[in-house]
Amino acid sequence: MNEQTTEAIVAQDATVVSPPPALKDKLAQPPLNIEAELAAAALPGRSVSRVVVAGTVRLADFAIVVTTGFAIHLLYVEQASALAWWYLTAIIGAAIVFVSAMQVAGGYTIPAMRRVGFQTGRLLATWMLVFGVMTAVVFLAKLGEEFSRVWFTAWFVIGLCALIAFRVALASFVNRWASEGLLERRAVIVGGGERAEALINAMEAQGEGDIRICGIFDDRSDDRSPQSVAGYRKLGTISELVEFGRKAQIDLLIVSLPITAEGRVLQLLKQLWVLPVDIRLSAHTNKLRFRPRTYSFVGKVPFLDVVDKPIADWDVVAKWLFDHVVGAMILLLAAPVMLLVALAIRLDSRGPVLFKQKRYGFNNDLIEVYKFRSMYVDKTDATANKLVTRNDPRVTRVGRFIRRTSLDELPQLFNVVFKGNLSLVGPRPHAVQAKASDRLYGDVVDGYFARHRVKPGITGWAQINGWRGETDTEEKLHHRVEHDLFYIENWSVLFDLYIVLMTPFRLLNSENAY
């Protein structure tokens, strides 16, 4: 989200609808109606990013070209000589030219990947182009005698067969994903009536696209916003949309209100920006036109980008790799310390070594996180209904030390590496009944649950800036949330690495950790 939009949202008086607490009898959000529940339940698992699919296919094509070229060289040419620079240049250069030419030819779009015949023809033409370019370069450089004709011919045939076989298998996977709805971006239209109908008609006129409209949500009465618009049902009000967005794992919210309705748009954003989704403002009927690069498009239908999903497409892959690779390394290094802590807990007081606690995770889902037990077994507080304070009698002798040094958090590496419901770095997950000044966190800070637009982490930007430990005042919680939101808006792998490296040094400050 850009800075001006964030400031505008925060400046509004409207209150963010907070997600429900753990106890069902204290639900803060209205329950979904049966139709909305069924619509959410009918959707398949989380969608697959088209950007990641296309990028993966590019990498696979590159690998196939390089692997077949080197394999044939190893089996035939290397008997006479080692790998010469001209072979290396030819193989790498051919792979680069092939992938670039396929990109220009549109071979990495989902529709192209779904059609085997279309792919085969385009692939054959591109492969012949690559070898034509290679032949011309070899001739002009007078390197004909340096290359084995058997290698050249065998690479052309075997490489082509390998690429075609891969594309046939790819078409099978992509068609299956498409039939299951896993390649679609799930969208909800916010606002009904004539504008929504015109928008839906314009989007559907584009032909094959990647947007699946899951329904319409609007607060207005039926005479201004009927129950059905362009064949799509109105599933509820805006306040119900937050819960539907989470259950249905929505990717995109499209606001069909006019730009001139600034107050109403900001009020909607105040409620909706807590969701980990892209939010777009429909611009297809606006008379005021900006430069094309100002818009994002579905086909030729323009939208104004208001809020972007914090971590999407390849960023998700990078974050996953960072968590699992670096997390596994830290877990191996920390294993001796964890064994010593477990032994100390066992000797200090009766009861299990580990303690499981329910906390809010990504998209406000409840998750279980592991910790070393720091309290007497008969005084543990699974929901954190009462904050731990200095000299708290519930905390054991070993517990005071491991809490002050944050060693009690080390078992959360199991959540990162094995369960995948935590990240190494992210907003700290709070217990479901955690309070500041005897008020639930969601009641203290407007937009508190926007922290859950990314996976929570073992450490975070707030923690290395001194906002760890006890949140006994509302001011402390506000500072923590501000730092969490800053992290979400400025995430990068290097930012994560910096926070991980700085965490051990910041743990030396145990002022607020009891």
* Domains, in order of start, for the chain: 3-47+184-307 (3.40.50.20), 50-179 (no CATH), 314-506 (no CATH)
Q: How far apart are the first and last CA of the chain?
A: 36
Q: Are 481 and 451 in contact (CB under 8 A)?
A: yes
Q: Are 438 and 471 in contact (CB under 8 A)?
A: no
What gap in Å lies between CA 368 and CA 134, rounded to an integer? 57
Tens of pLDDT, residue by residue over 360-377, are 889 888 899 999 998 888
In 177-300, the DSSP E strands lie at 185-190, 211-217, 228-229, 232-236, 252-255, 278-282, 295-298
Q: Does the pLDDT of residue 16 top 80, yes or no?
A: no
What pLDDT does residue 294 have? 67
Tokens 């971590």 correspond to 311
The model's pTM is 0.81
Amino acid residing at 154:
A
What pLDDT does residue 3 have? 43
Alpha helices in 296-444 (DSSP H): 314-348, 397-404, 412-414, 441-444
Mean pLDDT of the chain: 82
- Give the CA radius of gyration of the chain: 28
What pLDDT does residue 5 have? 45
Alpha helices in 76-115 (DSSP H): 85-104, 110-114
Tens of pLDDT, residue by residue over 100-118, are 999 998 899 998 898 888 8
Cβ–Cβ contacts within 10 Å for residue 357, how many?
18
Tell me which residue of 432, 408, 433, 413 sits closest to 423, measured CA to CA.
Answer: 413
33 phi and psi, to 5 degrees?
-75, 165
Amino acid residing at 349:
S
In 44-131, the DSSP E strands lie at none
Tens of pLDDT, residue by residue over 431-486, are 776 666 666 777 677 777 888 899 999 999 998 888 776 666 778 788 888 999 99
DSSP 465-503: TT--S---SHHHHHHHHHHHHHHHHT--HHHHHHHHHHH
